[in-house]
Structure 1
Amino acid sequence: MSTTVQPVIKCESVYKIFGENAGKVLKKSGGKVDAESLLEAGCVIGVNNASFDVHKGEMLVVMGLSGSGKSTLLRCISRLIETTAGDIFIDGEDLLAMNEKELINIRRNKMGMVFQSFALLPHKTVLENIALPLQVKGISTKDSMERAMTMVNLVELTGCENSFPRQLSGGQQQRVGIARSLAVEPDIWFLDEPFSALDPLIRREMQDEFLRLQSVLHKTILFVTHDFDEALRLADRIAIMKDGIIEQIDTPANIVLNPATEYIAKFTRGVPRARVLSCKTVMAQYDASADMSDIRVSQNAIIETIAERVLSEQKTVAVTDEQDEIVGVLNSKIIIQVLFGEANDIPVNDTAVSQA
C-alpha cells in the first residue's frame, strides 16, 4: 500500500484581493474573478485562486512580470500579509488559523527569508548581523557567534567576519543576508528577488553560490524572480504567474517543450532546448556490447553542460544514476539533434521530462 508524502507547503484556492470590498466581491463572484470587474468595485487582484504543493527539498521558482502577483503570493504563504480566502498549510499545520504567538514561533524556527534589500545593520559587523536572529531567539552570545561563524564559512566569507556592511561589495552583502537567514536553520526558505539588485556578473556568481548551498542543505525553497533565465537555471519546478493567476506550474523542461498558454509560449520562444533537457530525457538505451568511452555523465546533467565532452568522443558515452550505474547512453548524433535539430526531431523521453 503506497503512502502519500505530506507536502511541506500546501496552498488551496488562495486569493488575495486588495480593497475595502474584497471579501464581498469574492463571495459574489463565486470564486471566478477578473481584473476588470474588481477594478470597477474598487479592488485590485493580487493572487487569484492559487493551488499547489511544494515538497521537502524542492525548489519552486515563482516568476512573472511586475504586478503578476508573485511577491504577493510569497507574502501570503509566509503570512506577512493576510489572505482574502483559501487555505495554507505548513507541514500539515493550518497557517491561517495560528495566533500571533504560534506565527512568531513558526517564523523563528521554520522559516528563513531573504529579500531584495539586504537590510543589514550598518553599525554591526558581518558576524554580529548573522548572529542577530539567534540572539533574538534567546541563544547565548557565545553560541550565537559560533553558529554565525559557521555560516560565514558556509557562504565563503571567511576573513570578512569583522567587516562592516559598507566595506563589502553588493554580492558579499547579499551573502551576509543569506547567511543570516540560514543561521536559524529554517526548514523553509523564502527568497524574494534576492539577486535582482546585483549587476549581471555578480548575479551569476550568486546563482552559482545558491546552487552550491542547496546541494549541501537541501532546503524547501520558494524563490521569486522576474528573470526567466534565472528560473530555468535554479528551479526544480517553475510557476509562471499573470494577473494573479498561475498560468502553468511544471518542470523547466516541460514548460519550454509544452507551454500551456500563448503567454507561457512568449517566455519560452528562443530558449535553446539544450538549456533545459537533461541527459535522462534524451539518452538512448544501453547496449552492453557497445564500444564505450571512459567518460561518464550524470543522468541529471543538463545537455548544455556536457555537450562538448560528448561531441569530442568517438565512442558512446555512458549515462549514470546516483549509484553510478549505467542507465542509458549518449552519442554525438543525439547531441547534434538536441543542439541543431527541429523540436520534433529531438528524441525526448516524455516520461523522463515529466519527472525531471
Structure 2
Amino acid sequence: MPPVFSVRNLWKVFGPKADKVPGSPLAELSAEELRERHGCTAAVRDVSFDVRPGEVFVVMGLSGSGKSTLVRCLTRLIEPTSGSIAIDGEDVVGMDRDRLRELRRHRAAMVFQHFGLLPHRTVLDNVAYGLEIQGVGKAERRAKAAEMVDKVGLAGLEGRRPGQLSGGQQQRVGLARALAADPEVLLFDEPFSALDPLIRREMQEEVIRLHRDEGRTMVFITHDLAEALRIGDRIALMRGGRVVQCGTPEEIVGSPADDYVRDFVRDVPREQVLTVRRAMRPATADEACEGPVLTPATTVADAIGAVARAGTSARVMEDGRCLGVVDHRGLLGVVAGLDGERRAAA
C-alpha cells in the first residue's frame, strides 16, 4: 500500500540564510562548524523515510537529535527549509492555509508531552473541544467525546476538571481529545516523558492496545530506547539531525548500522528483542506436524520457555505454513552468540 507519510531529503535549518545550506558545501559542515561560521543550526539534515499504513513508526534519539523538530515539520507546525513531505500522496509543503488547517484538524492529530487541557472545562468538554472548533453540533460532539473517554479508560470521570486528575489521567484526556477527531495519523511528541515510571508503562500499554484494536497509524517520538523497542514496528534512530538507521527493533538491536547504534543498544537484553527467525532450521516431515506453535515474531526468550515446557522442538507457523522449527540447541546457540558479542563490546 502507498505510504501515509512520505518524506524525502528533508532539511530544517535555523538561522540567517538558512535556505542556502541544503545542497551546498555548507551542508557538509559539522553542527559546531555551521553554527560558529554561519550562525545556523541544522536541526534536521537530509532525512528521508516512509510511514506505512497501520504501523507505529518511532523516531528516537537523544536530546538535540532533531526528532521533535522532525515531527513538527510533518504538519508544518515548523516550516521545513527544503525537501518534500506528502500525506497520502498530497504535497504538504505546497498546502495553502485552509488545506493545512484541514490536515491538522482531521488527518494528523498531535499528542504533546504537555497536555494543554482547559482547566475550567470538564473532562468531557476538554475531549469535545476539537470537535467544537470544527463546528460539530453539541449533542454529536458530546456523544463522540463520551465514546472516546470510555475508550481510554476514563469512564466515570467525565465531570471532573483537569486539576482533579492525576498526570496519567490528564494524558489520557489528551489522547481522547486527539482520537475524537478520528485522524488518520496520531503524532506523539514524547507524550509520556514527564510521567512516573509505572504510569508511563500504563500509557505505553494503552497505546499498544489502541493500535491493536484500531490499527491506526502512529508516529511516536521518544528519547527512551526501551519505550521505542516496546511499541515500535519500525524505528528511525536520529543523531545530529540525521537518521543513522531505520528498521525494525530486531534489525536495530541485531544488526546495528554503526558504532553509535551499537553503543546505543549495547545493554539491551537482545534475547527479548530478537525473534525465532534467527534460530530456525528446516523442519523434518514429523516436526512440521507436531509440537508447540510459535509465530515468527516470538522472541528468543519466550521460545526458550516454550521449548523447555514442551520438552521438544517448536514449530514456527505463519498463515498455516511451517516456516521451520526451533529447538533448545539452536536457541541457546543464539543466546551464546549474543553473550559473545556483549563480551567483545565490553
Regarding TM over 0.5, the answer is: yes
The answer as to 2:56 corresponding to 1:53 is no
Q: How far apart, in 2, do the equivalents of 1:265 and 1:222 lie?
A: 24
Instruction: Give the one of 332, 338, 341 matched to 1:343.
Output: 338
Secondary structure of the structure 1 residue equivalent to 2:172: helix
Q: Closer, same or farther in 2 for the Cα pair 1:127/1:281, shift >3 Å?
A: farther
Partner of 1:242: 239
Q: How far apart, in 1, do the equivalents of 2:196 and 2:169 lie?
A: 13
Partner of 2:290: 292
Q: How far apart, in 2, do the equivalents of 1:124 and 1:112 lie?
A: 21
Q: Closer, same or farther in 2 for the Cα pair 1:336/1:178, shift >3 Å?
A: same
Q: Closer, same or farther in 2 for the Cα pair 1:119/1:224, shift >3 Å?
A: same
Structure 1 vs Structure 2 CA RMSD: 2.1
Give matches, 1:196-211, under 5 Å. 196-211=193-208
Q: How far apart, in 1, do the equivalents of 2:221 and 2:82 lie?
A: 22
The answer as to 2:69 corresponding to 1:76 is no
Q: How far apart, in 2, do the equivalents of 1:212 and 1:226 lie?
A: 21
CA contact (8 A) 1:292 1:315 kept: no
Q: How far apart, in 1, do the equivalents of 2:267 and 2:207 lie?
A: 26
Secondary structure of the structure 1 residue equivalent to 2:310: coil
Q: Which moved more, 1:324-333 or 1:272-281?
A: 324-333
Partner of 1:328: 324
Q: How far apart, in 1, do the equivalents of 2:301 and 2:124 lie?
A: 39
Q: Deviations over 1:86-132 (max 9, x none)?
A: 11111111101011111001111101110111111111111111111
Instruction: Give the one of 120, 123, 128 matched to 2:125.
Output: 128
Q: Deviations over 1:144-196 (max 9, x none)?
A: 11111111121122222222222222111111111111111111111010110
Instruction: Give the one of 210, 215, 235 matched to 1:213.
Output: 210
CA contact (8 A) 2:254 2:274 kept: no
Q: Deviations over 1:236-269 (max 9, x none)?
A: 1111111111111111111112211111111111
The answer as to 2:306 corresponding to 1:309 is yes
Q: Closer, same or farther in 2 for the Cα pair 1:254/1:146, shift >3 Å?
A: same
Partner of 1:267: 264
Q: Give the percent of matched residue pairs that are identical in Structure 1 and Structure 2.
A: 43
Partner of 2:344: none
The answer as to 2:156 corresponding to 1:163 is no
CA contact (8 A) 1:296 1:318 kept: yes
Q: How far apart, in 1, do the equivalents of 2:142 and 2:237 lie?
A: 40
Secondary structure of the structure 2 residue equivalent to 1:341: helix
The answer as to 2:49 corresponding to 1:36 is no
Q: Which moved more, 1:309-318 or 1:201-210?
A: 309-318
Deviation at 1:276, TM superposition (A): 1.5
Secondary structure of the structure 1 residue equivalent to 2:70: helix
CA contact (8 A) 2:108 2:187 kept: yes
The answer as to 2:108 corresponding to 1:106 is no
Secondary structure of the structure 1 residue equivalent to 2:243: strand
Q: Deviations over 1:215-256 (max 9, x none)?
A: 111122211100111111111111111111111111111111
Q: How far apart, in 1, do the equivalents of 2:325 and 2:24 lie?
A: 57
Instruction: Give the one of 4, 12, 15 matched to 1:16.
Output: 12
Write the letter of the residue equivalent to 1:19: G
CA contact (8 A) 1:337 1:345 kept: no
Secondary structure of the structure 2 residue equivalent to 1:292: coil
Q: Deviations over 1:249-297 (max 9, x none)?
A: 111111112211111111111222212212344333333413833x433
Secondary structure of the structure 1 residue equivalent to 2:186: strand
Q: How far apart, in 2, do the equivalents of 1:160 and 1:254 lie?
A: 42
Q: How far apart, in 1, do the equivalents of 2:130 and 2:275 lie?
A: 39
Deviation at 1:26, TM superposition (A): 3.6
Unaligned runs of 5+ in 2: 342-346
CA contact (8 A) 1:31 1:49 kept: no
Give matches, 1:77-96, under 5 Å. 77-96=74-93
Write the letter of the residue equivalent to 2:136: I
Instruction: Give the one of 183, 186, 210 matched to 1:186.
Output: 183
Q: TM-score, normalised by structure 1?
A: 0.89
Q: How far apart, in 2, do the equivalents of 1:311 and 1:234 lie?
A: 28
Q: Closer, same or farther in 2 for the Cα pair 1:326/1:85, shift >3 Å?
A: same
